[in-house]
Amino acid sequence: MNTFTPLFRSLLIPSMLFMGACAGQKAVVEAPKPPPPPSATVVSLSLGDVFFDFDKSELRGDARDQLQTNYRWLAENPSRKLTIEGHCDERGTNEYNLALGERRANTAKDYIVNLGAAAGRINTVSYGEERPFASGHSEDAWAQNRRDHFVAQ
């Protein structure tokens, strides 16, 4: 009987709790899921790329709209900085595409600075054709690669 009593107690208490929970009329409420852990790279949904026409560094209308959104992000995050990466499609020499990517990045920076952002908070870099977003050798792929990409620091 001595070995039966501890076994009985170890089964009795959990079974009583289980039966009490089953007999209740309250709905079971699940605990909320914890938020995901912060990542090393913070991605902002409001920062977006701007795109360019072939062999151009002038801003299109859609690019100006996105740059205004990117400026608002910068204004709402005064402790953050931006890096603007200038990219090109694969056509043209490496040297030409690096220069074109630099012109594109500087055009976007100048536009945001003219809106009121501090120039010291914005860095530019050109990758030319070295980091394509879209693979392929068609106008659709090239159009996606002619861009400025914004990276939050």
Farthest CA pair distance, the chain: 92
Kindly state the average pLDDT of the residues 109-120: 96
% of the chain exceeding 70 in pLDDT: 71
**Has residue 20 been placed in a domain?**
no
**2 belongs to a structural domain:** no
Q: Tell me, what amino acid is at 53? A: D
Residue 38 lies in a domain: no
| Domains identified in the chain, total number | 1
Q: What is the pLDDT of residues 124-146, one digit of tens each?
A: 999 988 988 888 888 888 888 89
Residue 28 lies in a domain: no
Specify if 135 maps to a domain.
Answer: yes
- Domain of 98 in residue numbering reads as 50-152
Q: Is 62 a domain residue?
A: yes
With beta carbons less than 8 A apart as the criterion, state whether 49 and 148 touch: yes
Residue 123 lies in a domain: yes
Domain assignment present for 144: yes
CATH number at residue 137: 3.30.1330.60
Residue 74 has pLDDT above 80, yes or no: yes
Starting at the earlier edge strand, list the strands of the sheet with 122-128: 50-51, 147-152, 82-87, 122-128
